[in-house]
Amino acid sequence: MDKFGWCILGTGSITFKVAPELLKNENSYIVSCWNRTHEKAVLFSNKFGGTAYENIDECLKRDDIDCVYVAVTNDVHYKFALKAIEYGKNVLLEKPFTINKKETIDLINKAKENNVYLSEAMWTWYNDTAIKTKENISKIGNIKSAKLTFGFPIKSLSKKGRLWDIERGGGALLDLGVYPIRYAYELFGMPKSIEATASLYKGIDKYDEIIFKYDNFVCIIKTCIDRIVSEYVYVKGEKGEIKVPFFHQAHKTILKTEKKQIFKYKGLLYQKQFKVVEDEIKSGLSESNYLTHKSTIDVMELLDKIRNIIGVKYPQD
Ligand SMILES: NC(=O)c1ccc[n+]([C@@H]2O[C@H](COP(=O)([O-])OP(=O)(O)OC[C@H]3O[C@@H](n4cnc5c(N)ncnc54)[C@H](OP(=O)(O)O)[C@@H]3O)[C@@H](O)[C@H]2O)c1
pLDDT(155) > 80: no
Q: Specify whether 135 is located in the same domain as 261.
A: yes
Q: Specify whether 211 is located in the same domain as 146.
A: yes
Instruction: For ligand 1, say whether the CB of 201 is within 6 Å of any of its atoms.
Output: no
Q: Which helix (H) or strand (E) holds 42?
A: helix 38-48
pLDDT digits (tens, 9 = 90+) for 251-276: 999 999 999 999 999 899 999 999 99
Total domains in the fold of the chain: 2
Q: What pLDDT score does 154 carry?
A: 86
Residues 6+ away with beta carbon under 8 Å from 131: 125
Q: Specify whether 117 is located in the same domain as 68.
A: yes
- Cα gap 123→179, rounded to integer Å: 10
Q: Specify whether 31 is located in the same domain as 143.
A: no
- Cα gap 310→130, rounded to integer Å: 28
How far apart are the CA of 22 and the centre of ligand 1, in A?
Answer: 18
Name the CA radius of gyration of the chain, rounded: 19
Closest-CA residue to 92 (of 186, 175, 22): 22
Cis peptide before 153 (omega within 30 of 0): no
Q: Specify whether 72 is located in the same domain as 148.
A: no
Instruction: For ligand 1, say whether the CB of 13 is within 6 Å of any of its atoms.
Output: yes
Least trusted range by pLDDT, from 28-37, 104-113, 146-155, 185-194:
146-155
pLDDT digits (tens, 9 = 90+) for 190-249: 999 999 999 999 999 999 999 999 999 999 999 999 998 999 999 999 999 999 999 999
- Cα gap 206→284, rounded to integer Å: 41
CB 209 within 8 A of CB 223: no
Q: Specify whether 10 is located in the same domain as 112.
A: yes
Closest-CA residue to 48 (of 60, 34, 31): 31
Ligand 1 atom 27: residue of nearest CA:
73
- Domain presence at residue 308: no
Question: What is the distance in angstroms between the CA of the first residue and the CA of the last residue of the chain?
Answer: 44
SS3 99: coil
- Cα gap 57→46, rounded to integer Å: 21
Q: Specify whether 145 is located in the same domain as 261.
A: yes
Q: Specify whether 20 is located in the same domain as 95.
A: yes
Q: Specify whether 21 is located in the same domain as 91.
A: yes
How far apart are the CA of 35 and the centre of ligand 1, in A?
Answer: 10
pLDDT digits (tens, 9 = 90+) for 76-105: 999 999 999 999 999 999 999 999 999 999
Domain at 98, CATH number: 3.40.50.720
Q: Specify whether 201 is located in the same domain as 224.
A: yes
- Domain presence at residue 200: yes
Q: Specify whether 278 is located in the same domain as 259.
A: no
Strand partners, 198: 208
The whole domain housing 89 covers 4-122+271-287
